[in-house]
Structure 1
Amino acid sequence: MSSNKISLFFVTFLSIIPFLACGKSKVAEITFLELTHNEVVFWPEAGEKIVEVRSNANFTVESTDSWCKAEIIPENSNKIRISVEMNKEIGKERSSELTVRVKELVRNIKVKQLSETPQATVSQTQIYFNENQTLEFCFDISSNLSYSMELPQWIVEKESEVIDKWVKRHHFVASALNRSDSKRDGTVVVRFNGHSDVKDIVVPVKQSNEYSRFSSGSYNLLVGGWPDRRELVYTIVNHYDFDIWGTQEGTKVHLTDIVNQFKKYHYTGTGRDGGDNGEFYAIFYKTDRFELLDEGSFWFSNTPEKPSYGWDAVNYRRICSWGKFRDRETYNVFYFFNSHFDHQGAVARVESAKLLLSKIKEIVKNQYTFFASGDFNCQPGSEPISILKAYGQLYDARDLAEEPLGPEGTFNQLKPFEASKNRIDYIFVSKNVKLLQYRVIDDRPYGRCPSDHDPVLIVTEF
C-alpha cells in the first residue's frame, strides 16, 4: 500500500470517530419550565397566594412593584409565595407582573389586585327643621372616600364624631330667621375630592319658624254593622275634615273603604291579632299635609312586642299604634299615639296607662310634641286617667278648652235622641300645645248615630 493511500485512510477514520462516539452517549437533556397559574387575583385586603413551578433546573422569580412581592419558599423550592399589601386606592385596581426565569426560558405571572368600590351615602336626602323646635340638626355621611362639604352661609358645622370605620356624624347649627312666619332653604353639598367618577351628593335644607295649626280627632268606628253605617261615618269625616285622626275598632274592611272614599288619607297601624288580622287602632293622616317618618305598634300586656293578652283583659288583645310625622307646611315634627284600653279588665286599664306613659317616654325623642288619642274605656277621675295626668306631660284637651263644644259624654249607645253619656274617648296633648278648639261631635245624619261613640275633635297650634 502506497504512502498516499495510507494517509487517505487515516484521515477518513479520524473524521468518523465523533459520529461513532455520539451514538454511544446520552441525548442532551432539554430544559423545561411550567407554572400552575399564570394569573392570580387578590381582594383589596393584604394577602398571599402560592404558585407551583415545574422545572428540571433551578429558577428565579423577580418583582418590580413594591406592593407585590414574590419569593421561593425555602422549605419547598418548587413553590413561589406571592404577597400583596392592602390596596388603599379606592376605586383603582392595580396590576403587576412577575418574571420566572430558568436559563433562557422565561414565564410571566400576571398579578391583579381589586380595589374597594367607592361608597358614598348620607342618612337623610333632605333636611327640614323648625327653629321653634331646634336650630340644630345632624346627619351621617357613610363613605370610604375623602370628602368636603359646602354649607349655606346661615349654617355652620358645630362638631363631628366618628360612628364607625366609614361613618361620621356631622352636627350643624343654623342661625335664627330674622322675622316671624318665614322660611328659607339652601343645600349642603358633599364633594368627594379626587374622585371625579363619584357624583356630589346634594342635600336640600329647609328651615321654618312658623307654627303648625291643624285638627286632630279620635273616633271609635264600631266594628259591627259597618255596611249600614258607612255612609253616615263618611258624612262626619267629610264635614269636619280631620287632618289627622285616630280610630278604634276598624277592621281592614273599614280602613280600605275610608281610604277609597277619601283619597287624601293614608293610615298607619296594624291589626291587634297581628298583621291585618283583627281590629286596627289606625291613624289616618292627610298625605299632602303630613309625611310619615316612623311608625310602630305595641300591645298592652307584659309582652308588648307581640300580639298578646294583658293582665285581666281575657277576651281581646289591646294595642296602641303610633306614628312620627312631619308637617310639610311648617317642618314641625310630632308624634301621634292611638290606643284602645280594655272595657272589662280594671287591672288591664291601670297597667295600660302605665305602659302607655313608659312607651311615650321611650319613643318620643328630642322633646317633640305628641298627641295621644283613644277609647280609654274609663271616665275622668278614674285611676288610669289620673295616672296619665300625673305624668306632667300629658294634658287632657278638654281641660284646656275655654268653651268645650258638644256634650261632655262620648258614648251614645246608638240612641240618637238621647244625650251621650260616659266620657271615655280622649285626646291628650303635650305641654307645648296651644288648644284652639275642643268639640264632641254629636251630629245625627238622617236622625241616626254613625257609631256608638261620638268622635272628639280638637284644633291645636304648636
Structure 2
Amino acid sequence: MKIKSILTAIFVFTVALANSQSLKVGTFNVRYDNPRDSGNLWVARAPVVANLIRYHDFDVFGVQEALKNQLNDISAALPEYAVYGKGRDDGKDGGEHSSIYYKKEMFKLLKSGDFWLSATPDVPGKGWDATCCNRIASWVQLQEVKSKKKFYLFNVHFDHQGVIARKESGKLMVQKIKEIAGNDPVLLTGDFNGGRESEWYQTIANSGILRDSYKDVKYPYENNSSSNGFRVPRGKGVIDHIFISKHFKANRWGILTDTYFGKFPSDHFPVAATVTL
C-alpha cells in the first residue's frame, strides 16, 4: 500500500506539473519615434529593441508609446510574434499604441478589444484632467495551444500629467477587467506613471483581483529605476508594472538594464516576469 501511495502521489504531481504553464511576460515602453531624440532616434534603436526582445524570449509582452511604423519594424524583425492593438487617436492606426505581442505558435487569439482611459471609454478622447493625449488600453484573450489554458492580457499607458486621470484610470482598469475577464486568469502590463506608493497603483494592487508580480518574488532583480530618460538613472523608482490574478504565481521578476555602446534602447527599461498559470 505504501508503494501504491507513493506512485499515486508521483502521478498526481506529474499531472499537475504538465498542466501548469510557465510564461515569460514583459512590459516595455519603447519611446515613441520622436525626430527630436537626437542621438537616440528610433532608426538606430529599432534593431536593438528587437534584439533585446528576441534574446530575453518573451512569450507575451505589452509595448507602450509605439507608433504604427514602430510596430511594423518590430513585427518585421520578429515574425514569430503576432500583435494586437489600436491607435489611441482614432481607434485605427493613428497615434501611439498600447499593443500586445504574443508568440504565434504558442498561442491562439480568442478575443480582443480596446478602451480609452476616460469617462467615455468606448470612444477616443482625453480623460478627466489629462491635457496632452488620449490614453488607450488594449486587451486579448489567448489560449495556450498545448495546454488549452486560457487567460486575458491587458496592456495600458496611464497619463503622465493628470493626477485625477491616473487615479480614475486605476479605478477604470479594475472595473473593465472585472467586466471583460470575470473570474478568468488575468495579466496586466503597462507604464502606470506611478510607483508602488501611488494611489492608482494601490487601487489595482489592492483590488482583490490583481496583485503585483514583484511581491511574489523573493529576490527581484531591481538594481535601479524602470525609467532612464536616455541617461544614467537615479534612484529605484518603478513605474512599469506587471500585475497578475490569483491564478498565477510569479517566480522571477526583473528590470532588464540592457544597453549598447553606453546608450539605451529606450527611455524605459523593460520589466520582465516569469509566471506560472
Using CA pairs under 8 Å that are at least 6 residues apart, name the structure with larger relative contact order, 1 or 2: 2
DSSP 3-state at the match of 2:242: strand
* Counterpart residue number, 1:256: 72
* Counterpart residue number, 2:128: 311
Check if 1:238 corresponds to 2:54. yes
In the TM superposition, residue 398 of structure 1 has moved relative to its aligned partner by: 1.1
Task: Give per-residue Cα distances to partners, 1:223-253, cap 9 Å, x unaligned.
Answer: 0221121122122112101110000000110
Check if 1:293 corresponds to 2:110. yes
* Counterpart residue number, 2:161: 344
In the TM superposition, residue 435 of structure 1 has moved relative to its aligned partner by: 0.8
* Counterpart residue number, 2:24: 215
Specify every segment of 5 or more residues in structure 2 that has no aligned partner in the other structure, as ranges.
Answer: 1-10, 35-40
Check if 1:353 corresponds to 2:162. no
Q: Distance in 1 between matches of 2:172 and 2:266?
A: 28
Contact 2:225–2:233, Cα closer than 8 Å, also in 1:
no
Paired amino acid for 2:238 = R
Check if 1:401 corresponds to 2:217. yes
In the TM superposition, residue 390 of structure 1 has moved relative to its aligned partner by: 2.1
CA RMSD across the alignment: 1.7
Q: Distance in 2 between matches of 1:179 and 1:347?
A: 50
Task: Give per-residue Cα distances to partners, 1:184-235, cap 9 Å, x unaligned.
Answer: xxxxxxxxxxxxxxxxxxxxxxxx9611111000000000221121122122
Match of 1:437 among 232, 243, 252: 252
In the TM superposition, residue 422 of structure 1 has moved relative to its aligned partner by: 2.6
Task: Give per-residue Cα distances to partners, 1:59-93, cap 9 Å, x unaligned.
Answer: xxxxxxxxxxxxxxxxxxxxxxxxxxxxxxxxxxx
In the TM superposition, residue 397 of structure 1 has moved relative to its aligned partner by: 1.2
Could you say which structure has the larger radius of gyration?
1
In the TM superposition, residue 278 of structure 1 has moved relative to its aligned partner by: 0.4
Task: Give per-residue Cα distances to partners, 1:284-328, cap 9 Å, x unaligned.
Answer: 000100111000000000110010110011210001000000011
In the TM superposition, residue 419 of structure 1 has moved relative to its aligned partner by: 4.9
Query: Superposed, which structure 2 residues align to 1:141-290 within 5 Å?
Result: 179=12, 181=14, 210-223=19-32, 224=34, 225-274=41-90, 275-290=92-107
Contact 1:270–1:276, Cα closer than 8 Å, also in 2:
yes
In proportion to residue count, which structure has more strand?
1
In the TM superposition, residue 180 of structure 1 has moved relative to its aligned partner by: 5.2
* Counterpart residue number, 1:117: none
Match of 2:208 among 368, 376, 392: 392
Paired amino acid for 1:287 = K
Contact 1:397–1:427, Cα closer than 8 Å, also in 2:
yes
Task: Give per-residue Cα distances to partners, 1:127-180, cap 9 Å, x unaligned.
Answer: xxxxxxxxxxxxxxxxxxxxxxxxxxxxxxxxxxxxxxxxxxxxxxxxxxx855
Q: Distance in 2 between matches of 1:261 and 1:389?
A: 35
Q: Distance in 1 between matches of 2:45 and 2:126?
A: 30
Identity %: 36
Specify every segment of 5 or more residues in structure 1 that has no aligned partner in the other structure, as ranges.
Answer: 1-177, 184-207
Q: Distance in 2 between matches of 1:388 and 1:451?
A: 26
Q: Distance in 1 between matches of 2:252 and 2:13?
A: 24
In proportion to residue count, which structure has more helix?
2
Q: Distance in 1 between matches of 2:143 and 2:78?
A: 21
- TM-score with structure 1 length normalisation? 0.54
Contact 1:410–1:420, Cα closer than 8 Å, also in 2:
no
- TM-score with structure 2 length normalisation? 0.89
Q: Distance in 2 between matches of 1:245 and 1:441?
A: 14
DSSP 3-state at the match of 2:19: coil
Structure 1 stretches of at least 4 aligned residues deviating more than 3 Å after TM superposition: 178-183, 417-421
Q: Distance in 1 between matches of 2:59 and 2:109?
A: 13
Q: Distance in 1 between matches of 2:107 and 2:22?
A: 12
Q: Distance in 1 between matches of 2:260 and 2:251?
A: 26
Q: 1:389 to 1:241 in 2, by over 3 A?
A: same
